[in-house]
Chain A
């Protein structure tokens, strides 16, 4: 091709053509390009043709393309990029001789068509069967539009996040049910308490106060009602003062028991609740008891962590007891721990079924009148049956652990049970009923002097010896504790409480404004 055949007036067109090719073939090279030392430029011959050298990415300004003249035999139809194939260095070459020892990934990369060397070597180029992979890139304008689109999409997502995402709002419909007005219940409670106050001024009729079922916090107990003593005889005086509340019922507390030395007897008394808590040795075991007599069934309550069923939050039982103004409290069934054990659970809270799966566990229902009712494993097999049971018995909440220790005054023997390692010696806890609205809470714990703990059947035998009518086993181990006067009164395993999901507690029903 001679000089005459190439017209310099085409320079702009050629430039434009190369620019277009450069932009359309712009390779995605996130890495810094491998620098290949360019061979020294040959001296320019006379016959030259303009060839536009596309600017390197790093060279600024990018628009300024340099024009170099060289022998132009024929402009190639396709751009021939400079081969970036590396010549292996000596050590690499040795490695290259052992392809079998190369890592698999490197072999795969070898097999792949190299991105940076689209041009095949001369000897390979003659092989027609070799497929040519051409990367399809998104054109620049379309990429810009896509960027705008995705940015708007991102803004939309953020708007959705602002409006609908409420992290850590793990509230359940339980709280939703609490937000109901409960006007009739509130009216009943108000009328009942007001009537009691009014009649109390006129005649000697005993006042009966009640608590609302939906209340998560009870009235604070009277601080002057608490007391401690080391002399069991002092309790006799307390019992005389509680004669109206006891209404002729016998107490389990025995002044002649084998009390644990240097351990105080704690008590609380007002018009609606009597609590006596003590520790005694039975069969070498350290047993902690809390005897409770309440005036109304609504004073026996269950508290869940954050007052929400199913929350991931777990709290110390003493924190929950203090937050709910409990006079005395104990651990419950630790429902959140046993939900996933695959044994099925029945959980009723504020008359609502939260878990109604057929269960292999015994369930203890507490009615609005304060009674304990047992549903044995397999007795209630559907939510409909559970709902019918709740309606017929006026059940308020349930505890699902077990087994039943004493039923209708009869000691129950349990050979096997799905949970609770009943044959092992562990710290144990149970709740029992001795009479109407009369309860006995008990734990058997590890002690600093390493006294034995109990299996479930041993626990049943000990609680049965206290002449209880009904008794139900609750969660044990580090969970087993009785809380009174701000903290656990028994020796909790490892000396420190475990965070749990629920407790049961007894509260005074006297409104704070009445007491003041």
Chain B
């Protein structure tokens, strides 16, 4: 498929850019409707969204420049010319937070609540961005799929190499797109079902965005390893920057919910058990990453184990969150 949708004079519009824009519009409408249905203000969301896009693009480009400075003539060129170059998506996390903070401050709103309303839309946005890779031949799975019966979505995507040959590789971005769609739907359910459940400690606001961060990070932790174009820090060529950010996010959430859980329940034995299990899963992720880098032909076993470990990491944090909530809902007040 031709990656260019419109070519007129000096104007070139790519299919991937169109798909991303459509996805952003869908995410905007979703977030706005969620915001209104949770009695938030539309103006906050409308201010948040463009700021989030701007900050997100800027930060993702800056991190990519930091990891691949040789691709750009200069830092200024990297942040001003977006016609070439690439991005490191998880770097948008602080940009989105900053945008929400500004939007909330300007409208006397609540940052956490605004981000909660935006969380399903953010999941949808990430998913659409991943989907757009199919339209730019950028679905860069490391694993080559040679069996013809598997050479179709959602397992494999065709990729035209620089020499013009067609090869089929694991459709890592498409799988991520599917996961983000599921996450988007689940976050909607979570937002409307859990926000009425009182918490023993901490606020209810912000949990939805934290859940998005948790499961998005877990998915990135394993799927980024399946890419052959991962970005690495200049000082470290073995663990990708995306995996580092994802692991840090999950660790941050573990600490946050551990503190809340201890405040709500006191320090219990099962806290130590959960932390130990979390460390075991983290070790499992590291070990499988090490193995798959050395023994590329073990990818099936390694990535299966890594996916389970990442899921385990996320579920433990989720479990800690549940311990902060009141278990049984209060009966409805008498009419």
Also in contact, A340 and B235, with CB within 8 A (given A157-B53, A306-B162): yes
Of B113, B233, B237, which is within 8 A of A30 by CB?
Answer: B113
Also in contact, A496 and B230, with CB within 8 A (given A166-B14, A170-B86, A311-B71): no
A312 to B234, Cβ gap below 8 A? no
Q: How large is the interface on B (under 10, 10 to 19, 20 to 34, 35 or more residues)?
A: 35 or more
Interface string of A488-516 (1 = CB under 8 A from B): 00000111111100000000000000000
* Chain B hits for A136, CB < 8 A: 108
Given A159-B21, A168-B133, A339-B70, output 16 extra A-B contacts at Cβ < 8 Å: A135-B108, A138-B107, A147-B46, A150-B50, A154-B50, A157-B54, A166-B136, A170-B68, A172-B71, A311-B68, A312-B229, A313-B229, A315-B228, A319-B144, A340-B234, A341-B234
- B11 interface contact, C-beta 8 A: yes
* Chain B hits for A210, CB < 8 A: none
B108 to A30, Cβ gap below 8 A? no
Of A169, A494, A495, which is within 8 A of B136 by CB?
Answer: A169
Closest to B130 in A: A167
Residue of B13, B84, B165, B196 most packed against chain A (CB within 10 A): B84
B46 to A154, Cβ gap below 8 A? yes
Of A147, A150, A307, A499, which is within 8 A of B162 by CB?
Answer: A307
CA distance A341 to B333 in the complex (A): 65
Of B21, B28, B263, which is within 8 A of A162 by CB?
Answer: B21
Residue of A29, A170, A173, A315 most packed against chain B (CB within 10 A): A170
Closest to B201 in A: A103
Give 6 closest A-B pairs by Cβ, nearest first. A340-B234, A168-B138, A150-B46, A310-B70, A170-B86, A310-B71
A103 to B16, Cβ gap below 8 A? no
B47 to A150, Cβ gap below 8 A? yes
- B256 interface contact, C-beta 8 A: no
- B33 interface contact, C-beta 8 A: no
A146 to B47, Cβ gap below 8 A? yes
- A137 interface contact, C-beta 8 A: yes
A323 to B83, Cβ gap below 8 A? no
Interface string of A10-50 (1 = CB under 8 A from B): 00000000000000000011101001000000000000000
A sample of 13 cross-chain residue pairs with beta-carbon separation below 8 angstroms, ordered by A number, consists of: A147-B43, A150-B43, A157-B50, A158-B21, A161-B17, A162-B17, A166-B14, A167-B138, A170-B68, A216-B163, A217-B163, A340-B234, A497-B296
* Chain B hits for A309, CB < 8 A: 70
B86 to A167, Cβ gap below 8 A? yes
- A153 interface contact, C-beta 8 A: yes
| A interface residues, Cβ below 8 angstroms from B | 28-30, 32, 35, 57, 103, 135-138, 143, 146-147, 150-151, 153-154, 156-159, 161-173, 216-217, 306-307, 309-315, 319, 323-324, 337, 339-341, 354-355, 478, 493-499
* Chain A hits for B73, CB < 8 A: 173
* Chain B hits for A151, CB < 8 A: 46
- B252 interface contact, C-beta 8 A: no
A166 to B39, Cβ gap below 8 A? no
- The distance from the CB of B136 to the nearest CB of chain A, in whole angstroms, is 5
Also in contact, A355 and B70, with CB within 8 A (given A30-B110, A147-B42, A161-B17): yes
Of A154, A310, A495, which is within 8 A of B297 by CB?
Answer: A495
A167 to B20, Cβ gap below 8 A? yes
- The distance from the CB of B62 to the nearest CB of chain A, in whole angstroms, is 15
Closest to B294 in A: A494
- The distance from the CB of B288 to the nearest CB of chain A, in whole angstroms, is 14
- B25 interface contact, C-beta 8 A: yes
- The distance from the CB of B335 to the nearest CB of chain A, in whole angstroms, is 12
A167 to B50, Cβ gap below 8 A? no
* Chain A hits for B53, CB < 8 A: 154, 157, 161
CA distance A319 to B39 in the complex (A): 56
CA distance A168 to B53 in the complex (A): 17
B25 to A166, Cβ gap below 8 A? no
B16 to A167, Cβ gap below 8 A? yes
- B82 interface contact, C-beta 8 A: yes
